Structure 1
Amino acid sequence: LKKLVTGFEDVVRMMTVAPEMKGALRVIERCVSMGIRVNMGHSDATYSQARDGKLAGATGVTHLFNAMRPFHHREPGLAGFALFDKDLYVELIADGVHARPEVLRMVFDIKPHNRIILVSDSIKGPQHKGGVLQGAKAPVTVARDVLRKAGVPRAAIR
């Protein structure tokens, strides 16, 4: 963490951490002590691992429902913990692709509205008309106004 932040102390204000990773809780605690806000995300965390992340100091969740363990009635994971914890902020990509409008409505029915942050997930070239986007760090394709990592079927994207 020190290597990542050294020289950028006045710039780094937020970090996303997967709370189930080895050493993640120490990273969360250290970030908080440095004044860096921590969100949980890009994660396969269980409900209890998400709770541990919050107890370590995380205050939010990055891209609720995306790049995380799916919600399940027996193991609600990070998504379930985020929905039912009234203090955590949740970021939602409100583009109708990353989450259906009905899911957005559900979140607004469950979470206090002052804990919901609507974000985009746009990258350079969102007006690209199709094919492979040149100049991207990873190859992406565009179909029906949606950018996807090339070669990754939609079902593989959580």
Structure 2
Amino acid sequence: MRKITNIKVPQPEKSEDEKNLFSLVLDEHGIILSIDKTCKKESSYDEDWHGDWLSPRAIDLQMNGGLGISFTDLNFNKIPKLLTLLDQLWLDGVEGICPTFVSCSLDQFQLGMEVLKETKKYTSTNRCRLLGAHMEGPFLCETYSGAHDTGSICRPSISALNERIKGFEDDIALMTLAPELKGSLDVISRLRELNIVVSLGHSSADFDSAIKAFNNGVSMITHTFNAMKGLHHRAIGPIGAAARRDDIFLGLIGDGVHVHSDMIRLLKILAPKQIVLVSDAISAYGLGDGSFNWDKRLITVENGLCRLPNETIAGSTLPLLDACKKIANWINDPSAAIWMATLAPRMVLSQNKMTVKSFFIGKNIKSLLRWKMNSCNHQLSWQLAA
């Protein structure tokens, strides 16, 4: 038996240090048997973490590809490169991803899903897991299509949905759509029957239509502020509608370019428990700066920012935990930043049915992360917990 004391667990809001200290009991194999709050800082001969944070690895709900491959353009020949990407993500501190399909043809989507099914057969202990897919489209608003191919966007309908996901109903975790479009509410209802999380995105929804969507099963906003109506003092839009309640998660690209760092700070004040970090990484993830093919278009990456030839922002290449460290400084709350990248996405996928203890009990500490805040340069860093 082994005991570790004076551990912090990430929280979405600041708390007094002494109220957020935990002790772990582990068996001889490093499996966590219990995690309990301590009333005050413990002094003992056990292992003392001195207030460092313990967290699971990150979960990325929106990742489009990496190392030159895009999930939208998968084929069976790309499985070895996909496995290399998953190995790299594990080293980058990511436990699982929702492979994200932007708007594409029916054939492209279904082939990609078949490739993912085959790739899951190669799951291993030290490899990032493929979770349920994220369908970012095709039921989107053309006015807010962003980098999506408008030729692949279509009107929402039950028949179009069923045709696309037939045979893959259990392999999809999340779908982004524009809920204001005619037919969307029926699609939302069907997705909720299938236990698929529904997110508002690439949408012209105003405050009222957003509220209606939330009341009908939409529980998240995709890359908040991007490809939607923004916050305005006379028209607060879908973001303001979400912030009025605490059951809507706000996906956020934390590179400081998609959303200004000061706006991220304001969003944290507005919706302190709702932010979920996503990378929105594209096929250029892990390749550095340069020019790369993306479907039939050219993407230029400069300082990690991806743009189409018309200057439209098209995703990012910043690793998710690098964004987490940036946000920790911007909001001056490292605990909340860790929560956004590691625990909040698990709450999304579990649809708020998990407890903090359930994230740790039964896990091997070797699979978890230890976070430190450097008291000299005030920089957050992570390492393996054991």
TM-score range, shorter chain: 0.7 to 0.9
Q: C-alpha deviations, 1:56-102, integer Å up to 9, x for none?
A: 11111111101111222222111221222221011111111111111
Which stretches of structure 1, 4 residues or more, deviate above 4 A after TM superposition?
A: none
Work out whether 1:150 is the aligned partner of 2:309.
Answer: yes
Displacement, 1:129?
2.2
CA distance in 2 between counterparts of 1:91 and 1:15 reads 13
Contact 1:19-1:40 within 8 A present in 2 as well: yes
Residue aligned with 1:150, SS: coil
TM-score, structure 1 normalization: 0.87
Match for residue 66 of structure 1 among 226, 240, 244: 226
Match for residue 123 of structure 1 among 262, 265, 282: 282
Match for residue 136 of structure 1 among 294, 299, 304: 294
TM-score, structure 2 normalization: 0.37
**Mapping 1:8-157, distance limit 5 Å:** 8-113=168-273, 115-126=274-285, 127-130=287-290, 132-133=291-292, 135-137=293-295, 138-152=297-311
Structure 1 gaps of 5+ residues are none
Displacement, 1:128?
3.4
Contact 1:94-1:118 within 8 A present in 2 as well: yes
CA distance in 2 between counterparts of 1:18 and 1:103 reads 23
CA distance in 2 between counterparts of 1:142 and 1:84 reads 37
Residue aligned with 1:91, SS: strand
Q: Which stretch of the first structure deviates more once superposed, 79-88 or 56-65?
A: 79-88
Kindly indicate which of the two structures has a greater share of residues assigned to strand.
2
Contact 2:203-2:228 within 8 A present in 1 as well: yes
Q: Which stretch of the first structure deviates more once superposed, 101-110 or 50-59?
A: 101-110
Residue aligned with 2:240, SS: helix
Q: Which has the higher contact order (CA 8 A, sep 6+)?
A: 2
Q: 1:144 to 1:42 in 2, by over 3 A?
A: same
Size of the alignment, in residue pairs?
A: 151
CA distance in 2 between counterparts of 1:25 and 1:9 reads 18
Contact 2:289-2:300 within 8 A present in 1 as well: no
Displacement, 1:2?
0.9
CA RMSD of aligned residues (A): 1.6
Q: C-alpha deviations, 1:5-47, integer Å up to 9, x for none?
A: 1110120121111111111111111110121110111111000
Residue aligned with 1:59, SS: strand
Structure 2 gaps of 5+ residues are 1-160, 314-386
CA distance in 2 between counterparts of 1:86 and 1:112 reads 9
Residue aligned with 1:139, SS: strand
Letter paired with 1:89: F
CA distance in 2 between counterparts of 1:25 and 1:112 reads 28
Q: 1:80 to 1:136 in 2, by over 3 A?
A: same
